[in-house]
Amino acid sequence: MKLIAGNSNTPLAQAIARYCELPLTQASVRRFADEEIFVEILENVRGEDMFVLQSTSYPVNDNLMELLIIIDALRRASARRITAVLPYFGYARQDRKPGPRTPISAKLVANLITMAGANRVLSVDLHAGQIQGFFDIPTDNLFAAPVMSADIRSRFPDHNWMVVSPDVGGVVRARALSKRLDNAPLAIVDKRRERAGDSEVMNIIGEVEGRFCILIDDIVDSAGTLCNAAAALKEAGAAEVVAYVSHGVLTGGALARVDNSSLRELVITDSIGNHETIAQSSKVRHLTIAPLLAEAIQRIADESSVSSLFD
């Protein structure tokens, strides 16, 4: 088994390598003057079980092309098996046709990864479960809920928890976290989205007065939904509001919006390599998923159960 990483999230790749007690495979990933990407594997990988560590986060298209070219280079170097490890799977929000004459880009990207030569995919908290079916190769979808629940228990052990979904579509995710927190009660924020990037909170479904509310979501982009939800929860009498999100995309003025919001804290995993950006915020904190990914990688290499990680 060998690990190789692109340039999208070097700190996470190095942390995974430390947990696996393996060095990262030496490779040169560089660009020509016209920004063409060139990859050269600097070690023998013939017959190896290769794991490519690369989030397809900002800049999405550059990191996606890096991933595809690394996979192609490994395939042509006679690697025995290639697993694409995508802590964050970009284009996941384009998983259906929202209107006529629009693409399903998540399926297109799945096809690209498969055709490049990947034999398996490993990701974390896909935006929608059906994305696993977009791949014609084995796909493991890990969940950050165990990491989040452990952090909640250690930091807020004596609080009156209530798990809150920021929209109706996230109820399944909220219920999964609730079960890990001794079946904490659930609430739902009912919102109406007028246009992409904007959201208007309508009402709260559930009794949140006096509760320590934990908002749970898979992606935070502009942070408008989370901040509006936090404000609505506080208006409804919530004692405190914290948010736990798997993937911190955090574009535009998201950090300023979070810092000026009713949120006590926003906790995101390190699936996206934006460490320097979030260091500027007083309310955003990283939670590492390196041990989770490292354990899953070891189990795949050993041909043992991955699903038992979440039992």
pLDDT digits (tens, 9 = 90+) for 7-55: 999 999 999 999 999 999 999 999 999 999 999 999 999 999 999 999 9
Is 36 among the annotated ligand-binding positions?
yes
- Alpha-carbon dihedral angle through residues 63, 223, 103, 8, given to the nearest 10 degrees: 10
User: In this structure, are 122 and 139 located in the same domain?
Assistant: yes
Question: In this structure, what CATH number is given to the domain that contains residue 149?
Answer: 3.40.50.2020
User: In this structure, are 190 and 234 located in the same domain?
Assistant: yes
Report, in this order, helix, strand and coil percent for the chain, each rounded to 5. 35, 25, 40
Residue 276 pLDDT = 83
User: In this structure, are 264 and 304 located in the same domain?
Assistant: no
Is 225 among the annotated ligand-binding positions?
yes
2 assigned to active site: no
| Cα separation, 135 vs 218, whole angstroms | 20
3-state secondary structure 267-288: EEECCCCCHHHHCCCCCEEEEC
User: In this structure, are 172 and 271 located in the same domain?
Assistant: yes
Residue 159 pLDDT = 86
Cβ atoms of 122 and 81 within 8 Å: the answer is: no
Domain of 92?
Answer: 2-143+291-310
Amino acid identity at 243: A
Is 48 among the annotated ligand-binding positions?
no
Is 224 among the annotated ligand-binding positions?
yes
User: In this structure, are 115 and 228 located in the same domain?
Assistant: no
Q: In the chain, which stretches have pLDDT less than 70?
A: 192-202
Cβ atoms of 92 and 133 within 8 Å: the answer is: no
Residue 195 pLDDT = 62
User: In this structure, are 6 and 139 located in the same domain?
Assistant: yes
Is 153 among the annotated ligand-binding positions?
no
| Cα separation, 164 vs 57, whole angstroms | 26
User: In this structure, are 50 and 168 located in the same domain?
Assistant: no
Cβ atoms of 208 and 238 within 8 Å: the answer is: yes
Q: What global pTM score does this model have?
A: 0.93
| Cα separation, 161 vs 180, whole angstroms | 12
| Cα separation, 124 vs 126, whole angstroms | 6
Is 35 among the annotated ligand-binding positions?
yes
- Alpha-carbon dihedral angle through residues 121, 127, 128, 130, given to the nearest 10 degrees: -20
Q: Is 210 left (phi over 0), alpha (psi -120 to 50) or beta?
A: left
Here the tokens at position 8 are 């999208």
Q: How many structural domains are present in the chain?
A: 2
User: In this structure, are 201 and 100 located in the same domain?
Assistant: no
User: In this structure, are 15 and 92 located in the same domain?
Assistant: yes
Catalytic residue among 2, 191, 234, 283: 191
User: In this structure, are 300 and 201 located in the same domain?
Assistant: no
Residue 158 pLDDT = 82
User: In this structure, are 98 and 154 located in the same domain?
Assistant: no
| Cα separation, 215 vs 265, whole angstroms | 10
User: In this structure, are 126 and 233 located in the same domain?
Assistant: no
